Amino acid sequence: MDQEALLRAAAEFLGRRPNATQDEIAEAAGVSRATLHRHFAGRRALLDAVDALAVREMRQALDDVRLTEGPAADALRRLITASQPVSPFLALLYSQSQEYDSDEPGAAWAEIDEALMALFRRGQENGEFRTDLSPAWFSDALFSVVAGAAWSVKVGRAAARDYPAMITGLMLDGVLR
Amino acid sequence: MDQEALLRAAAEFLGRRPNATQDEIAEAAGVSRATLHRHFAGRRALLDAVDALAVREMRQALDDVRLTEGPAADALRRLITASQPVSPFLALLYSQSQEYDSDEPGAAWAEIDEALMALFRRGQENGEFRTDLSPAWFSDALFSVVAGAAWSVKVGRAAARDYPAMITGLMLDGVLR
DNA sequence: TTTACGTGAGACAAGTTTGTCTCACGTGAG
DNA sequence: CTCACGTGAGACAAACTTGTCTCACGTAAA
């Protein structure tokens, strides 16, 4: 198992069980605790690596989908689709970045949050999106819904292939017919 | 501090920090660890009590709002409003109920989940709600959005008084104008 | 074949958390 | 005033987790 795959497995498990012990994480990732330690020298290092992975992937997603191009709703759809690989651990990092003891991860997430809010603002300013709810809420809600969808997929309540449509449908149009 | 207030404070803190130690929980609740222990004899007992509190409050909310009466959308609005007191720790319990080691809490949550899905199905059958997304997803999404809103309120990104409108707006109508 | 490397298992020390208890104190009621 | 009660602080043992290391093994490449 290469380090990236190990890190991803650990991240996904931690996304579901923030309380997991190093033993449990290692087992879930299919390696021994010694091996986990060899790759990530301690829990702190592992958490930092998970955080860095999520930030990197979110930044990549933001770059790839070019949030500033085209209609805001289309950009949001692209982003939702691009978020799927990081979705199993996204909410873990984002919400805990507010509880984190280190300044740097928080700054990275703030930047990502700002990019999302800018997208929602753009949509509001050009008339695509409603203006009675705040961009900050939209950003938080998107993270929440992404996390919820990841969880649904993980526990088998939804199919992975439905991930984009589930979120897009709900975020853009809501449940009303 | 009476036991219920202590439990609620602990639950809210745990909702934000599932990893919190007993020391941290006690401090957040404004009591000593010894006192926390006197009320809840150990972490297991505390978690069980938090779970029972959330289940009780959700059941109360479901009873109060009478999900089977009136239009499904109105019932959903009533439920969203009624969920506010339990929102800070709802997602903690619901998502962890799937990871729980005890059968009973899972069963209680399954019952609550079923009531929610029944509401969404009712809405779909009578034409109020879209049918292309599943009631299971709607239920999961509601829990996620409720949790996200609670978090937004807690960290000051949204006002508590806006809680119902934030969720109702997003869940029912989405972000599109 | 040998060598290099990565690994798991197991051991052990250190660190942390938990469970539990005692003592002293403060508060409110009678 | 005394009594009853709840509490925090502190102590300590037990349990658990973490960090770290060594040894033996398996695998792949030369």
Residue A100: per-residue pLDDT = 46
Residue B104: per-residue pLDDT = 52
| Six token digits for residue A23 | 């033993």
A47 pLDDT more than 50: yes
Question: What Å value separates CA A21 and C1' D18?
Answer: 9
Cα separation, A25 vs A9, whole angstroms: 8
Domain spans of chain A, in order of start: 53-173
**Does residue A91 or residue A64 have the better pLDDT?**
A64
Supply the mean pLDDT for chain A: 90
Residue A104: per-residue pLDDT = 52
Residue B121: per-residue pLDDT = 98
**Segments in A68-134 forming alpha helices (H):** 72-82, 87-97, 103-125
- In tens, the pLDDT along A93-132 reads 655 554 544 445 578 889 999 999 999 999 999 999 999 9
Q: What is the largest CA-CA distance in chain A?
A: 55
Helices and strands in chain A: count of H runs, count of E runs = 9, 0
Q: What is the 3-state secondary structure (H, E, C) of chain B?
A: CCHHHHHHHHHHHHHHCCCCCHHHHHHHHCCCHHHHHHHCCCHHHHHHHHHHHHHHHHHHHHHHHCCCCCCHHHHHHHHHHHCHHHHHHHHHHHHHHCCCCCHHHHHHHHHHHHHHHHHHHHHHHCCCECCCCCHHHHHHHHHHHHHHHHHHHHCCCCCHHHHHHHHHHHHHHCCEC
List C-alpha distances in Å: B55 to A158, B58, B105, B167, B176: 24, 5, 8, 21, 34
Contact residues for B23 (Cβ-Cβ < 8 A; gap 6+):
B33
Give the CATH fold of the B50-173 domain.
Answer: Tetracycline Repressor; domain 2 (1.10.357)
**Long-range CB pairs of A45-48, under 8 A, 24+ apart, other chains included:** A46/A7, A46/A10, A46/A22, A47/A14, A48/A102, A48/A105
- In tens, the pLDDT along A65-92 reads 999 999 999 999 999 999 999 999 886 6
| Chain A positions in Cβ-Cβ contact with residue B145 (cut-off 8 Å) | 141, 144-145, 148
Residue A105: per-residue pLDDT = 55
Q: What angle (nearest 5°) sits at the alpha carbon of residue A63, between those of residues A61 and A66?
A: 105
How many CB atoms within 10 Å of residue A118? 15
Backbone φ, ψ for residue B30 (5° rounding) = 85, 20
Q: Which amino acid is at B85?
A: P
| Chain B positions in Cβ-Cβ contact with residue A149 (cut-off 8 Å) | 137, 140-141, 144
ipTM surpassing 0.85:
yes
Residue A95: per-residue pLDDT = 57
B84-97 burial, b if ≥16 CB within 10 A, otherwise e?
A: bebbbbbbbbbbbb
Question: What Å value separates CA A29 and C1' C4?
Answer: 25
Q: How far is A91 from chain B (nearest CA, A)?
A: 10
- The tens-digit pLDDT sequence of chain B (177 residues) is 788 999 999 999 988 888 899 999 999 999 999 999 999 999 999 999 998 999 999 999 999 999 999 999 999 999 999 999 999 988 666 555 545 444 455 788 899 999 999 999 999 999 999 999 999 999 999 999 999 999 899 889 999 999 999 999 999 999 998
Instruction: Average the pLDDT over A57-66 and give the result.
Output: 93
Cα separation, B103 vs B56, whole angstroms: 17
A51 pLDDT more than 60: yes
Q: What angle (nearest 5°) sits at the alpha carbon of residue A154, between those of residues B97 and A78?
A: 125
Residue A90: per-residue pLDDT = 82
**Long-range CB pairs of A9-13, under 8 A, 24+ apart, other chains included:** A10/A36, A10/A40, A10/A46, A10/A50, A11/A50, A11/A53, A11/A54, A11/A88, A11/A89, A11/A92, A12/A88, A12/A89, A12/A154
Cα separation, A79 vs A93, whole angstroms: 18
Give the CATH fold of the A53-173 domain.
Answer: Tetracycline Repressor; domain 2 (1.10.357)
**Does residue A98 or residue A148 have the better pLDDT?**
A148
Distance of alpha carbon A100 from the chain centroid: 16
Question: What Å value separates CA B39 and C1' C23?
Answer: 20
C-alpha radius of gyration, chain A, whole number: 17
Protein footprint of strand D, defined by Cβ closer than 7 Å to any strand atom? A 21-23, 33-34, 37, 41-44; B 1, 30-35, 38-39
Q: If we measure between CA atoms, which residue out of A152, A160, A118 comes closest to residue A135?
A: A118
Contact B171 A171 (CB under 8 A): no
